[in-house]
Amino acid sequence: STGLGIGLLQSLILLVSFVGVLWSLSSGFVFHIGGYSLAIPGYMVWAAILYAGTASWLSWLVGRPLIRFNSDRYTREAELRSSVVRVNENVDAIALAHGEADARRRLELDLGTVLGAMRRIYSAQINLSWVTDTYGWITVVAPILVASPVYFAGDISFGGLMMAVGAFNQVHASLRWFINNIGGIADWRATLMRVADFRIALAETDVLHDTEKRIKIGENPNGRLTFENLEVASRDGCTKLAKPHVEIRAGERVMITGDPRAGKTLFFRAIAGLWPWGSGRIS
C-alpha cells in the first residue's frame, strides 16, 4: 500500500509539472483537412489521455482475473499450512494408526491446489505482459506519430517537435501509473478482500456469541440420547434435525446425513457440549 501510494503521488506531481507545458506547446497545432483548418487546444494532452486511458482499460480487462487468482492462491496456501500444522500436531496418532499414506495424500492434494493456483497466476501475468509490453513498445513512436502531421505541415520546427515529444513522454509517464502497477494493485486488492472477509467473520462470530439462546445440556435417566427441538446456530444460519423430537437408545446405530456444509460437525460439537449456541435441549 505504501509503495503504491508513493508511486501515485509521484505520478500526480509529474503530471501537474508537465501537463501545462505540453498544453502550451500543442495549443498552436493546426490541422489542415480538405482546405479547412482545425485547431484543437491542448491537442497532445488529449492524445496522451486517450492513449493512456485505452491502455489502462485493456490492462484492467486482461489483468482483472489476477485479483481472483491471487485471492485463491492465498486461500490454498493457508489450507496447505493448516494441513501441515495438523499433521505435525497429530504425528504420533498418525503413526500409531498407520495413517501416513492418507496424510501424505492430503498434503499432496493441498500442494497440488497451490501449484495449480500459481500456474493460473503465471498464465494471467503472461497475458498481461503482452498488453503492457506492446504498449511500451508503441510508446516509443507514439508521440512522434501524434505530432508528425503538424510538423510535416510546416507549422512547427523540428526543435518544437522534440520539445512536444519530450513533454508528451513526461505526461504519459505519469498517466501510465495504473498500467505499471496493475499486478501490484490486483495483489493488494486480493489481500484487502481477505482481510475484509476475516473482519466480517469476526463480526459474525461476535454476533453469535452475543446471542441469548443456548442449547441446554442435561442427563437422561433412561440412558438414552434425546434431542428436543434442537437448533444449532452458526454464522450461516441454523441447523436442525428433520424431526423436533429424536430419541436414540443405547447400542442403537444411527447415520447422520445432510447436505455439504449443513452443519454436521457443529451438531456433533453440540452433543459433546463444545458448541452451546442455539436452542433446544440435549439429554
Contacts of 31 (CB under 8 A, 6+ apart): 37, 38, 39, 40, 149, 150, 153
Domains (range + CATH), the chain: 2-205 (1.20.1560.10), 216-282 (no CATH)
Give the number of other CB atoms < 10 A from CB of residue 89.
Answer: 10
241 near 270, Cβ under 8 Å? no
Give per-residue burial for 210-227: e unless 16+ CB within 10 Å, then b. eeeeebeeeeeeeeebeb
> Cα separation of 263 and 115, whole Å?
30
Give the contacts of 134 (CB within 8 A, at least 6 positions apart).
Answer: none
**Rounded Cα distance, 12 and 177, in Å:** 9
Model pTM?
0.64
At residue 17, the pLDDT reads 81
Residue type, 282: I
- 36-45, 152-161, 202-211, 246-255: lowest mean pLDDT where? 202-211
What distance in Å separates the CA atoms of residue 277 and residue 283, rounded to the nearest whole number?
A: 16
Per residue in 122-156, pLDDT (tens digit) is 988 888 888 888 888 888 888 888 777 777 767 77
